[in-house]
Amino acid sequence: MHAVIPYVTGALLFGLGVYGVLRRRNAILVLMAVELMLNAVNLILVTADAAVRATLVGVQIESWAYPNGRPAHSGGVFALFVIVLAAAEVGVGLAIVLQYYRMRRAVHVDEVALHHDDEQVSR
Partner 1 sequence: MTVADVLLLALGAVAVGSGAAVVTSNHLVRSGLYLVISLGAVAGLYLVLGAELVAWVQILVYVGAVVVLLLFAVMLTRAPIGPSRDLDRPAWPALIVGGGVGLGLAALLADAFRWTLYDRPPPGTAERMGTQIFGQWVLPFEVLSILLLAALVGAIVLSRPDIGAREGEEA
- Span 12-31, contacts to partner 1 by CB under 8 A: 12-20, 22-26, 28-29, 31
Which residue in the set 64, 97, 115, 116 belongs to the binding site for partner 1 (CB under 8 A)? 97
The whole-angstrom distance between residue 88's C-alpha and the CA centroid of its chain comes to 11
Rounded to whole angstroms, how far apart are CA atoms 9 and 44? 9
- Binding status of residue 116 toward partner 1 by CB under 8 A: no
How many residues sit in the footprint of partner 1 (CB under 8 A)? 78
Rounded to whole angstroms, how far apart are CA atoms 31 and 17? 10
Residues 44-83 that bind partner 1 (CB under 8 A): 46-47, 49-51, 53-55, 57, 68-69, 71-77, 79-81, 83
| CA nearest neighbour of 109 among 34, 48, 56, 55 | 34
- Binding status of residue 112 toward partner 1 by CB under 8 A: no
3-state secondary structure of 1: coil
- Binding status of residue 8 toward partner 1 by CB under 8 A: yes
